[in-house]
Amino acid sequence: MAQALKVVGLMNVQFAIVGVQTYSPQVYILEANPRASRTIPFVSKATGVPLAKLASLIMSGKTLEELGFTQEVIPSHIAVKEAVLPFNKFPGTDTILGPEMRSTGEVMGIDSDFGRAYAKAEMGAGEHIPLSGTVFVSMNDRDKAAAVPVIKEFIELGFSVMATSGTRKVLQENGLDVDLVLKLHEGRPHVLDAIKNRQIQLIINTPSGQEAQSDGRLIRRTALSYKIPILTTIAGAKATLAAIRSLQNTNLDVKLIQDYCLVD
């Protein structure tokens, strides 16, 4: 695209992926802009390559060969970028994300291990990762099967699990020990009571359709008020598992960014 558009310098491309959990996802290009994105300073810090400086020199007539930058830099460490989403400053908002920009900043976590790097990024963004307790699970039909190995790992790490009837049925059919918690219209005590009584330390909720507009929204708003972390994707749950596993087994250490890579 850059060659076809004759872009000299940096180019920012935005993609959308449909069917990401299928064997044949479809990739769409939303837009391409001849400018830097907020990812540029992140990649520069992660690799030690001053991309903005190099791009400026290239735009002034230098070549990559003249600047000595002709090979991709692949770091030996892991760098995780996390968006800062200030939902706690807006009471009553829903934490579910859509295509619009909601972040007010970004942080980076760096380590030799993905779990520790992700944990550092979450801590930098002001998010709490519980190392024990109870996980509440409520999945849409599309994600129920994919949630089984994820919930199994939470149980193996020492967590208890409670779920609404449909999700619990699938988990039990796969041999997992899961407690039942009632939906809001099924009687008391229900899931909101469990949240308010501090019986839940982590929520995994993948909403869809009308549910996202009713019970799910109320659950997410209540969890936000009680500062309980909420995961709304399978990918987020897997990353959180990696962080918990690392934090349970090792202590985090701190190093200068210059100890990972040199940055001009």
pLDDT given at position 57: 96
For residues 251 and 37, the answer to whether their CB atoms sit within 8 Å is no
Output the tens digit of pLDDT for each of the chain's 264 residues: 999 999 999 999 999 888 876 778 899 999 999 999 888 999 999 998 999 999 999 999 999 999 999 998 888 899 999 988 766 666 666 666 666 666 668 899 999 899 999 999 999 988 889 999 999 999 888 889 999 999 999 999 999 999 988 999 999 999 999 999 988 888 889 999 999 999 999 999 887 655 545 777 788 888 888 889 999 889 999 999 999 999 999 888 888 888 877 544
Rounded-to-integer distance, Cα 240 and Cα 118, Å: 8
pLDDT given at position 52: 93
pLDDT given at position 21: 67
One DSSP character per residue, 50-93 reads -HHHHHHHHHTT--HHHHT--S----SSEEEEEEE--GGGSTT-
pLDDT given at position 69: 93
Rounded-to-integer distance, Cα 227 and Cα 208, Å: 23
Task: Show the tokens assigned to 121.
Answer: 């990024």
Give me the residue spans of the domains in the chain: 2-38+51-74, 130-249
pLDDT given at position 264: 46
Q: Is 230 helix (H, G, I), strand (E, B) or coil?
A: strand
CATH architecture of 130-249: 3-Layer(aba) Sandwich (3.40)
In order of 1, 3, 54, 206, the CA distances from 184 in angstroms are: 50, 55, 56, 17
Q: Is 235 helix (H, G, I), strand (E, B) or coil?
A: helix
